[in-house]
Structure 1
Amino acid sequence: MKKIKQYEKWFYGIAVVILLGLFYSSSMTYKQQTSVPFLERYLQNKPFEHGLSQIGFNYGGKYQSVANDGYFKFVEFFIRKGAHFSIYLVLGVFLALALITYFRRNYFLMIFIPWMTTTGLAAFDEFHQGLTGGRTPLVEDVILDSAGAFTGIVILVICLYLFSFKNKKYDSNL
């Protein structure tokens, strides 16, 4: 924990940089952000089209499928949702690292506080996105973001626990 404490300011700084990137991204319209032209250029042979055309589900009050959206928008949908999950996973990890020394004896709070903080930030980001033209804030995106943060934080805490357990076992053998 001493090593983590010495990098605490860096962890906060990285979390702030991620938040600034999210703020900038959520202030862009869909038209400014779309990756469809890129996908059309580089995925001309439409890999996995047959398999993807078998998938369909409801998300945000809309049925998502290749038949409804077309191949490129459907692929973009997965990329965007993967980005939601991933960026909040990373944000959750850095917030947890920044706050971890305050809760070093309580694993529940070590997970809960950074997770709820990240979830609140995700909700605020969706609200901000709703103020941007051509964008729709979705509760489902907040849930996805929250799941990403929770996943990252739990993996981090398990790794830290196992690492500290291994070090204690090693120290007791000396």
Structure 2
Amino acid sequence: MRKKIIHWSWGLVIAVELVLFYSSSMTYKEQTSVPFLEKYFKNEPFKDSLSSIGFYYGGKYQSVENDGYFKFVEFIIRKGAHFSIYLLLGAFLCLALYWCFKQNWFLRVFIPWMTATGLAAFDEFHQGLTGGRSPMVQDVILDSAGAIVGSLIVVLILFLIERKKAL
């Protein structure tokens, strides 16, 4: 069973990396969801709630007021996707490498997290080679946060499973 989990995990790591490579190869114009949002969310749902949110990201204040409703929603979706895809990558890397580090809980989290962070940095570099896109250190930090959350979730779940089996 363990070998099957490891093989599937590596397959999922590769699949996520292929999605990331493809995505970072696309220009912003090829990737933007603004036309979709404008077409299907004309009534601007949750605009009042979203209008009360604002924060600095990448040296720019992000808000509905500054960016407009559709661009701000797209920004939230894009950054949520960054965090989520790297959460998955961190989780799959953790599953793939989990049994390599017998009783070293620190390495069970640290190695997958740092591997995903390195891949995030490479992905941002690759994105910088694509027209109309710019690499951002903030995105690597966001990706890294997603990866550590994914790794911690997997380690916690597997720890609880192992603990239950020991009882």
Which bracket does the TM-score occupy, shorter chain normalised? over 0.9
Q: Which residue is equivalent to 1:61?
A: 59
Unpaired stretches in structure 1, ≥5 consecutive residues:
170-174
Of 21, 32, 43, the match for 1:23: 21
TM-score for the superposition, normalised by structure 2? 0.97
Q: Distance in 2 between matches of 1:33 and 1:6?
A: 35
Of 160, 163, 167, the match for 1:162: 160
Q: Distance in 2 between matches of 1:150 and 1:8?
A: 19
Matched, 1:122 2:120: yes
* Structure 1 stretch displaced more, 8-17 or 119-128: 8-17
Q: Distance in 2 between matches of 1:28 and 1:165?
A: 45
Q: Runs (4+) of structure 1 moved beyond 2 Å? A: 3-7
Q: Which residue is equivalent to 1:172?
A: none
Q: Distance in 2 between matches of 1:27 and 1:156?
A: 30
Unpaired stretches in structure 2, ≥5 consecutive residues:
none
Secondary structure at 2:2 match in 1: helix
Q: Which has the larger radius of gyration?
A: 1
Q: Distance in 2 between matches of 1:76 and 1:63?
A: 15
Secondary structure at 1:63 match in 2: strand
- Identity among equivalent positions (%) equals 66
Number of aligned positions between the proteins: 167
**Could you give the per-residue CA deviations for residues 47-91 of structure 1, whole angstroms, max 9, x where no partner exists?**
111111121111011111111110000000000000000000001
Residue pair 1:5, 1:101 contacting (<8 A) in 2 also: no
TM-score for the superposition, normalised by structure 1? 0.93
* Aligned alpha-carbon RMSD (Å): 0.9
Residue pair 1:22, 1:125 contacting (<8 A) in 2 also: yes
**Could you give the per-residue CA deviations for residues 75-128 of structure 1, whole angstroms, max 9, x where no partner exists?**
000000000000000011111111111012111000000000000000000000
Task: Give the letter aligned to residue 137 of structure 1.
Answer: P
